[in-house]
Structure 1
């Protein structure tokens, strides 16, 4: 992993310049730009049967790329100004960093008024859904699993707070924003409210943030 004064870049990833007239988009993003057509095909035209999540900022769909890779496609609400702010925050926060306890941002789509983020697909949904969801889960959380999940979340936060430059404050840690892969490795997700600390800052004061 190499570093610039602003971001740590994932080695081997394709760097791409965003060329768009949309206001405030970052100018240098280290991830893939997908077309809307590609993502529509991957999700069977955003079929409701592929919807795996929904929130105030938009909906998330399970998809499969032509190469067979499974993805999670987060479609930001067209009407919501907050949705655009979340889109920008996610791109600026995690497009150029990589850690075993963070979701991986594969890419994005900007076409017309569409703002879409593409992540790795995680088989066991969120910690909240697994523990409290309406569907019954066959996952058994023994004490070792619980400790490992807690430690993984702590390692992900420590990486954001201490090991990347600028440091990142998530501001919305909750069970629904902790996703689990097939091995129950926790992945911190949803960086829509994240804040980047200014250089040399040791703390940050913001308004009360978070979602229910």
Structure 2
């Protein structure tokens, strides 16, 4: 569970969004970034809790429900990896990540909810983690506590960014600016046959787990 959570934590959408908030000229970038992270945390916990409770109920009510839950979780992961592999077969234009003009201290929390919610379909480690919880027969209360911890780990890179900003200020500002120019600006992403092959192989491996589950 911890490994899946750390894998899921390196999410470009939330990390770049927090980076942009901290780089924005304003009087309260840290407070705004914290509210954004709270929105992300609540979204991961709430949607994960809904999926977990529904999956747990389905596993109990449907014959072979646990097997199908495992197949669905690993199947989603295989499809996402295969889609990523297909994208690397050709160059594509990556759009710049920009914050909406209506962002403020009042709207940072709902923005965190929207950004995180829109990206959760790609968070296949989360679905696998939920399947592991159900398969292990973890009691509902303990399962929700584990998901709460998972959501904390998911937000950990953003929290570390905020902490580093408070501790080192201008030095972190320069590094965050470089981070944004690497991951957040519009640019042409060249095709990579090696990356596509690696992702396709990983997709086949995960798909085989889904089929033989």
Taking structure 2 as the reference length, the TM-score comes to 0.25
- Structure in which a larger fraction of residues adopt strand: 1
TM-score for both structures, normalised by structure 1: 0.25
Larger Rg computed on CA atoms: 2
More helix by share: 2
